Structure 1
Amino acid sequence: MAAFTAFGSAPAWADPVVEDRPPVSEQVGPGSPSGSDPRGGPDAAASPEVADPDGLRHTSYVAPFREARSIEYFVVAQETLPAEAVDAVRGIGGVEHVLTVDAARVLVEEQATSVLGVDPSAFRNHAPEPSAESDDIWQGVAEGRIALSKDVGTERGLEVGGDVTVTGGRGDVPLEVWTHATSGIAGIDALVSRETAAELGMPEGNALVVSAPGTDLWELYDDLGEVLGEDVSVQLVADAPEAPGDGDAVPPTVIERVIAHAESQLGVPYVWGGTTPGVGFDCSGLLQWAFREAGVDIPRVTHDQWNAGERVGFEDMERGDLIFWRSDPTAPDYISHVALYLGDGMMLEAPRTGLDVRVTPVRTAGYAGTVRVHT
């Protein structure tokens, strides 16, 4: 579910990732969220497995997990962010912590993948709880392995313990897949250490993880824009209970066109990152395409689609609403799947690798909520 567009001239694989998203005011609608998922329901919050903990050398120091820190916004620029700009973000009212990271699109086994270069000691405090508390995960990243999201690892068959070729601006780098552990930031598919990021030729310090729990997200968005300027892209990571403006629900006549387009792809294979009619779609790619064909723009990735309209109760679902699930055991709070409600307890979805676009009864396991898309 790639959420970023690379900028710059070839070779583009180590250019910074910059979101292709609507304004934040259009990402979140009013309202708030209200129970077999083929993508797998969440297990107990056990730490994700790693390849070979006995093989860790412990040559790189990794600080222990200290405290859970939220992520309200992720911001990314094309070039290294000036120190004065980072300091200005730290000075915004309500901001409690700012973490500098490296962000780029690289190739993993010849497929474009959004990667962060992180300091494991610091980033682990922002990671979802099952991963944050695992010393082995972050020690492995510090020692030069790659952590793939559960979605990328499972859907692309990149197994824990296997080797992958990562191609950056400085050529090919072989890396061991250390774990499948979702970062908690929509569209980020992999984590490496900042040392490995430098080896790959990724830009240094061009992105920030901003923790500001309890702040007004819309005021914070405006403050970030004022401090960083229009060339820096801002991604909402936290759920917001309401938007500054409501807009109107997509009318039924348009919804019927959306559904007709989606139904035209029945039988088309699920493809990770897929956006091509007749060839392959992933869950959010299918719905973005169907809405766009009907003249309605919605965001690309599942988390952003969760924030694309009015949250409605399960019993109030109407034809054309988006249904969401939290089904990633490595990140239990993460929105990980979406489908289109057809009415009468049925829905249309692109489920997972090995299954085609299909119509199926609505599932309640892992159900997160329902969104009515607004324009």
Structure 2
Amino acid sequence: MYVRNRASPEGSIAEGYLANECLTFASRYLVGTETSFNQSTRNEEDQNVANDEEVSFFANVGRPLGRKKNKGFSSNKRKRVSRITLDNQTLVQAHRYGFFNFDGVAPFLKKHEQFIKRRNRSPRLSPYEIQKLQSETFHDWFHDHVAQLEQQGNANITDELRLLARGPMDTTRRYTGYIVNGFRFHTKARERWLKTQNSGVVVTSKMMSYASSRDARPIEGEINYYGVLTDIIQLNYSGRFKVVLFKCDWIDPNRGLKKDKFGFTIVNFSHLAHSGTNLVDDPFVFASQAKKVFYVQDEKNKDWLIVKHAKLRDIYDIGGGSSFNRGQGSGEVQDDDSHDTTKWVRNEVDGVELTQEMKTAHEEEQALYEHNEDLF
């Protein structure tokens, strides 16, 4: 029944529903106008952050948060970017993570490993010690080696390798918020006085695990690293390409990560790894690698936090796949047996035997149904 609130028509549920239907219908015919059907999502990534002249060998996705430049009016929102000068150790750590994950540097890493082995034949170094020496000295060796190959006129030295060897500028951009992979991230300092939590980060990486410094047989596997975001920087390689990195306080997976008796993952931030205090630490990851998690306080264990993985906005779990499968080798669409009622049987329940009276009643009912169907 249509009920009109004559005293307050603006508060009528029916009036509001009718107005919403009319606006929805009209918005479908509007071109070039932002409506509820074509408006951008809250965590939509801006693909035009970088200039057209910039060339990036890494996928520089996402967009920074904060007040944009050249707005023409004052705003109380946080500034999008600030400029800082990194110390030498932080700059080396960020730069090293970049070229360690660039495929074009892989042959140089092998050459540097052979160089380390020739210089340390006695005593023979373990794989753990070789990896540590590479983290400490590869950036300097790579710079000198590429410069030497350039002087020799080596054609294999591309512009990207040349710029990587020179290293990034020490003056970088710093952000306090960033949107990437559909998630909104804030640094720990930015959300200090906020009630929301957007600083939890998880990265799944493949790596070689060593039982000790004398371990000669490392094991490769996937490990989830949980941490909290402390800084967001953008390295600039001579203005040719830029890459955004997240700096985090990472939990030591050996001491600060475990499963409780209910199967939940819990972490302890009093046990940290790769904090950035040592040159060999790796506190940085690419922004494109980060996923979001929340940390919930465990009421029984005050030092431990329960990990809850965040879900993307506007994505809904609707269960399994389609109930139809396309037959292989043919263009026919075959019905899936997921709706086969013959499988809807409880095995623990005994079957019911049909008597002659039940069969006769069923036949009479079927005949009556067919007779009525012929009449119509």
TM-score, length basis structure 2:
0.23
Q: Identify the structure with bigger relative contact order (alpha carbons < 8 Å, sequence gap 6+).
A: 1
Decide which structure has greater helix share: 2
Which structure's CA Rg is the greater one? 2
Q: TM-score, normalised by structure 1?
A: 0.23
